[in-house]
């Protein structure tokens, strides 16, 4: 069934809902932030992607995750990632929703138009920061639930009008300052505001990992596995045993790319030579272009009668 209830192709959001409905199954979402990282994750067969806000700020703006990105930055990047394979659901960071209820509504419309399957909205102020940094501030519960209600109402309206859909994920950063019980209470009440998935950010102990899914029974819970972050390192299998329905790995690619690039650039600066890697052995630029879908592009051009690549590449 299509998202609008008629026979037809399944939307990315409908596909994601089906994943969440599978018993004893945990969705693994590879963290991506640009076209290269997204393509590589798709090539490896990941069935769900996560667009990281921190990675978007870094790759699109060259800036830290301090609330500097705006809705256009994020929605544009999300749309590019979603467009690479519209059958693969993309979960996208939506920070605070980027403003008051009317702005949140605009954000939801933009994310839905971009093809995003699920988005998370948090309870930090607009000058937010990465959830694994210290001294995070919070907005009041009133402001937080207004954001979620605005998001949910916009989703419901567009679902009725167009058949489009998106899953609203409630993220709370209140664990750090208010403690576990208060944070879980916020997530429980987020359901009344229209959220469908709970995201307790910055979990700091195995005890919290073991409790949160039980305490939020009946609501799918997302686990954020930030490389080197404050949360105990869990595999997808371990997270599944604890009851988590989604595990995102925001920095899995970004962390190793940054380390490798820094090493290469430092070596080039110091020696005037680049480190020769297996990249050259894999036919250099062709290796990159093939990973980015060159063969499929050439084949499409031929199928529609194009003459650009008849002599090959």
Catalytic residues, by residue number, are 50, 65, 93, 95, 120, 122, 130, 171, 201, 224
Is residue 200 packed enough to be buried (19+ CB in 10 Å), middle (13-18) or exposed (0-12)?
buried
- Hey, what are 29's tokens? 């979402």
- Are residues 165 and 137 in contact, defined by beta-carbon separation less than 8 angstroms? no
- Hey, what are 274's tokens? 């680049």
Nearest to 65, CA basis, from 14, 128, 115, 119: 128
Nearest to 148, CA basis, from 95, 204, 213, 195: 195
Q: Is 220 helix (H, G, I), strand (E, B) or coil?
A: coil
CA distance 226 to 238: 16
The torsion region of residue 177 among left (phi > 0), alpha (psi -120 to 50) and beta comes to alpha
CA distance 122 to 273: 45
Angle subtended by helix axes 35-43 and 252-271, to nearest 10:
120
Concatenating the DSSP letter of every residue in 59-90 gives IIIS--SSS---HHHHHHHHHHHHHH-TTS-E
């Amino acid at each position: 069934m299509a998202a609008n209830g008629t026979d037809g192709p399944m939307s990315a959001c409908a596909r994601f809902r089906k994943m969440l409905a599978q018993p004893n199954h945990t969705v693994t979402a590879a963290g991506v932030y640009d076209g290269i990282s997204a393509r590589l994750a798709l090539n490896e067969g990941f069935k769900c992607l996560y667009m990281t806000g921190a990675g978007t700020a870094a790759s699109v703006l060259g800036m830290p995750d301090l609330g500097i990105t705006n809705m256009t930055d994020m929605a544009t990047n999300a749309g590019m990632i979603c467009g690479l394979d519209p059958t693969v659901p993309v979960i996208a960071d939506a920070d605070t929703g980027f403003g008051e209820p009317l702005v949140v509504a605009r954000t939801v419309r933009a994310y839905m138009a971009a093809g995003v399957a699920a988005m998370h909205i948090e309870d930090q102020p607009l000058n937010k920061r990465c959830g694994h940094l210290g001294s995070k501030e919070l907005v009041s519960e009133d402001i937080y639930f207004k954001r979620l209600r605005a998001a949910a109402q916009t989703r419901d309206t567009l679902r009725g009008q167009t058949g489009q859909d998106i899953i609203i994920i409630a993220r709370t950063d209140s664990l750090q300052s208010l403690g576990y019980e208060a944070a879980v209470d916020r997530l429980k009440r987020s359901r009344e505001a229209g959220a469908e998935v709970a995201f307790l950010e910055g979990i700091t102990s195995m005890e919290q990992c073991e409790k949160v899914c039980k305490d939020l029974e009946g609501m799918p819970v997302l686990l954020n596995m930030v490389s080197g972050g404050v949360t105990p390192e869990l595999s997808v299998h371990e997270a599944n045993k604890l009851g988590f329905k989604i595990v995102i790995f925001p920095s899995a690619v970004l962390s190793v790319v940054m380390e490798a690039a820094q090493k290469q650039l430092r070596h080039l600066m110091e020696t005037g030579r680049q480190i020769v890697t297996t990249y050259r052995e894999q036919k250099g630029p062709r290796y990159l272009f093939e990973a980015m879908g060159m063969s499929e592009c050439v084949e499409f051009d031929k199928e529609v009668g194009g003459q650009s690549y008849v002599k090959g590449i």
